[in-house]
């Protein structure tokens, strides 16, 4: 009875500890975005359908944003991650003499929109056409037509079109846009509408969950017109209404292969930059998670602390094993500079972003908070809960926890990497750690109710 009372007081005291909030760290605030894609077209950058159509219901709008994207584009080529060359296009066998479209635009001085059309046969370019546009149409619709260079003498088998908001070899000089509609090919005075979805009226609509205050991989892959997404809101929450659910997703276009669920406290996909303010030297990022590991995937939570844009502290929590129940974690933050940080960034993933492996890997994350203490146990309670002797030690370390139950124990080096783990049976054990290098380690101990952490020194 006494041990249960102590445990209750430990859990209760956590709520009144010194903590700081992570922006939307409880994952309660979401919106649902509706995406409308033009069928048969791929997009990049700030490219979207607009109701400001020149004809019909929809047109394609490309925007330059400074600072931000270098350009936006749409194309009927195959956009594949990691490939520089554009391939694909549509089957086409006619021999037009010119190419054109209708456009409204307002481009910054010095910026030039560009449309390039290629006719190919057996993979070789037979002819091309180029249209360049600059300035401001002042709300008017202008018609642009350009001849096909090197008049087609044989029938092509493919047509490939790329339209840029600005030349891809340089960044845009200012904010601007171009709206394009009603593409056509022409032979003499006769326009041809044999281009697939030339007027952008064939569309596909899909909805996705958007996490407030975070950039997610959902925001990155929307240009590939996915049918499913790697990041969702989940009603399986540790606290409140929602948690954040991340998984390795395959039910999206094959160009992306397996995409891991990753989220980042930022409004753009940039790591190693500060993204929200902090006002103290927090020692831990605490939270709760569940994890289904598949094919050797490891979930991670990384936190980085900054002062005036310079990184001065970081820590990473890794999980390799499945956890079917909500489990607390403490991400120990190691500082390389004594200054008080002014900002931080957090990145969370269900697997290695560069090498996702399992199609069934999934992670639930909830209730992130900065703290001076590990999740569930304060410094004073650490002294009451755990005894390590000797400390410092040279070879053998004895660990005893007052709560006489089974615990998982882990040693973390100063980078936050787990270097050793074991099970502590009935709260007591003796372990040979002579293989470890000399230095400072954090000993993390946990059971189904709480997690604690203390410092030990290896001589």
Q: Is the peptide bond before 392 cis (omega within 30 degrees of 0)?
A: yes
The half-sphere exposure of 97 on its side-chain side, counting CA atoms within 13 A, is 4
Q: Do residues 116 and 217 both lie within one domain?
A: no
Residues 28 and 54 in one domain: no
Q: Is residue 3 part of a domain?
A: no
Task: Specify whether the CB–CB gap between 316 and 416 falls below 8 A.
Answer: yes
Residue 68 confidence (pLDDT): 61
Distance CA 371, CA 431 (A): 30
Amino acid 190: pLDDT: 61
pTM value is 0.64
| Domain presence at residue 345 | yes
> In which residue ranges of the chain is pLDDT below 50?
1-17, 81-83, 380-381
Q: What CATH number did the domain enclosing 294 receive?
A: 2.60.120.890
Indicate whether 197 belongs to any domain.
no
pLDDT of residue 404: 66
CA 7 to chain centre: 38
Residue 227 lies in a domain: yes
Peptide bond into 126 cis (omega under 30): no
Q: Tell whether 148 and 59 lie within a shared domain.
A: yes
pLDDT at site 114: 96
Q: What pLDDT is stored for residue 118 in this prediction?
A: 94
The set of long-range contacts for 357-360, using a CB threshold of 8 Å and a minimum separation of 24, is 357/248, 357/258, 357/294, 357/295, 357/296, 357/297, 358/248, 358/293, 358/294, 358/295, 358/296, 358/297, 359/248, 359/250, 359/258, 359/294, 359/295, 360/248, 360/292, 360/294, 360/295
User: Is residue 10 domain-resident?
Assistant: no
Instruction: Say if 338 falls within a structural domain.
Output: yes
Tell me, yes or no, whether 54 and 184 share the same domain. Answer: yes
Cα separation of 321 and 300, whole Å?
12
Q: What is the pLDDT of residue 66?
A: 82
pLDDT score of 448: 60
The length of the chain in residues reads: 459
Q: What is the pLDDT of residue 383?
A: 55
410/277 same-domain check: no
Residues facing 377 on adjacent strands: 374
Is the separation of the CB atoms in 234 and 56 below 8 Å?
Answer: no
Within-domain flag for 244: yes
Q: Of 349, 371, 393, which residue sits at a domain end?
A: 371
pLDDT of residue 82: 46
Write out the residue range of the structural domain in which residue 219 sits: 18-32+206-371
pLDDT, residue 401, reads: 80
pLDDT of residue 170: 83
The total number of structural domains that make up the chain: 3
- Based on the domain organization, do 166 and 297 belong to the same domain? no
**Which two tokens mark 90?**
């549509």
């Amino acid at each position: 009875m006494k041990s249960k009372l102590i445990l209750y007081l430990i859990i209760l005291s956590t709520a009144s500890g010194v903590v700081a909030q992570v922006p939307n760290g409880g994952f309660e605030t979401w919106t649902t975005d509706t995406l409308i894609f033009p069928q048969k077209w791929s997009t990049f950058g700030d490219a979207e359908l607009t109701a400001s159509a020149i004809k019909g219901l929809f047109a394609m709008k490309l925007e330059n944003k400074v600072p931000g994207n270098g350009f936006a584009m749409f194309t009927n080529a195959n956009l594949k991650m990691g490939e520089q060359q554009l391939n694909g296009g549509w089957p086409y066998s006619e021999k037009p003499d010119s190419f054109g479209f209708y456009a409204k635009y307002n481009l910054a001085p010095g910026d030039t929109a560009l449309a390039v059309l290629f006719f190919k046969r057996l993979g070789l370019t037979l002819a091309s056409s180029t249209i360049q546009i600059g300035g401001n149409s002042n709300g008017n619709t202008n018609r642009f037509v350009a001849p096909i260079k090197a008049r087609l003498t044989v029938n092509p088998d493919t047509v490939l079109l790329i339209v840029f908001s600005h030349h891809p070899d340089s960044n845009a000089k200012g904010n601007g846009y171009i709206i394009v509609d009603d593409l056509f090919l022409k032979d003499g005075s006769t326009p041809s509408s044999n281009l697939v979805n030339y007027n952008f009226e064939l569309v596909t609509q899909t909805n996705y969950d958007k996490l407030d205050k975070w950039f997610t991989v959902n925001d990155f892959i929307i240009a590939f017109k996915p049918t499913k997404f790697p990041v969702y809101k989940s009603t399986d929450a540790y606290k409140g209404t929602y948690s954040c659910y991340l998984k390795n997703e395959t039910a999206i276009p094959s160009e992306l292969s397996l995409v891991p669920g990753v989220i980042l406290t930022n409004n753009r996909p940039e790591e190693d930059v500060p993204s929200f303010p902090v006002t103290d030297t927090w020692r831990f990022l605490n939270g709760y998670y569940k994890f289904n590991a598949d094919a050797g995937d490891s979930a991670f939570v990384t936190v980085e602390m900054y002062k005036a844009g310079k990184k001065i502290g970081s820590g990473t929590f890794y999980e390799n094993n499945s956890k079917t129940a909500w489990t607390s974690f403490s991400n120990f933050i190691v500082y390389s500079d004594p200054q008080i940080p002014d900002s931080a960034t957090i990145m969370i993933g269900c697997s290695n972003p560069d090498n996702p492996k399992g199609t069934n890997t999934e992670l639930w994350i909830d209730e992130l908070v900065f703290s001076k203490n590990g999740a569930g146990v304060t410094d004073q309670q650490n002294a009451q809960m755990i005894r390590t002797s000797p400390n410092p030690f040279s070879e053998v370390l004895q660990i005893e926890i007052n709560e006489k139950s089974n615990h998982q124990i882990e040693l973390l080096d100063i980078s936050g990497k787990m270097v050793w783990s074991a099970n502590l049976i009935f709260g007591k054990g003796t372990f040979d750690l002579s293989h470890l290098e000399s230095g400072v380690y954090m000993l993390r101990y946990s059971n189904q109710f709480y997690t604690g952490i203390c410092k030990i020194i290896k001589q």
